[in-house]
Chains A and B, each alone.
Chain A
Amino acid sequence: KAGVTQTPRYLIKTRGQQVTLSCSPISGHRSVSWYQQTPGQGLQFLFEYFSETQRNKGNFPGRFSGRQFSNSRSEMNVSTLELGDSALYLCASSFDGGYEETQYFGPGTRLLVL
């Protein structure tokens, strides 16, 4: 079974631009979570989607948004990019978010904002 895939793997943007990152979960998984990883703040939860609905949201500004499609693929969007948005963005999937489940992580998208 294929793992979690994220595209693109690397991105370079300039301040003020917007960016869209994509995550394809493991086949059959319906829950997708997003995390931001930076050297200074570590791993921080962005949001979680299940069946096209946002179930949980972390403490990030409204510039960060996401959505999930009917095939469970998810996208996250960051508008008006700032230098501090440079990070590794990870997504993780699980079947339905049950507490007995394991979350499987993708390889991440590394975003550099210049």
Chain B
Amino acid sequence: AQTVTQSQPEMSVQEAETVTLSCTYDTSESDYYLFWYKQPPSRQMILVIRQEAYKQQNATENRFSVNFQKAAKSFSLKISDSQLGDAAMYFCAYRLPNFGNEKLTFGTGTRLTIIP
């Protein structure tokens, strides 16, 4: 069974600084998808960024980028120029690339606090 581990329950960063959230996963599959989701307080979970395992290039979405190390089974999220609106729970998630299998396996989350 696949597992996702987020070892940092809480992180904080000064506004405008850069922070990196860690995620490791365990799988015997060679092809899969990895995601970072953001869940602001009392608000809906939204997708931040996704990475396909077959792509060597790290995904980037504006201030958000990932460091995907397939051999190490590591998938960290870097947030540059942190903003107050980035404060949220961040979940790392894994999914198999099978059509019709929507199951996401989530990590336990990292609560990110932005210090003004």
Contact = CB atoms under 8 A, between A and B. Distances in A.
Contact of B43 (A42, A44, A98, A107): A107
Nearest to B107: A42
Interface of A: 3-4, 31, 33, 35, 42-45, 48, 50, 55-56, 58, 90, 92, 94, 97-99, 102-108
Judged by DSSP, the binding face of A is: strand
A105 B45 CA distance: 6
A106 B102 contact: no
Interface residues of B, number: 24
Interface of B: 33, 37, 43-47, 50, 91, 95-109
Given A3-B44, A99-B33, A105-B44, A58 B91 contact: no
A1 to B, nearest CB: 14
A97 B44 contact: no
Judged by DSSP, the binding face of B is: loop
A56 B103 contact: yes
A45 B93 CA distance: 12
9 contacts: A33-B102, A42-B108, A42-B109, A48-B103, A56-B102, A58-B103, A97-B102, A99-B33, A103-B47
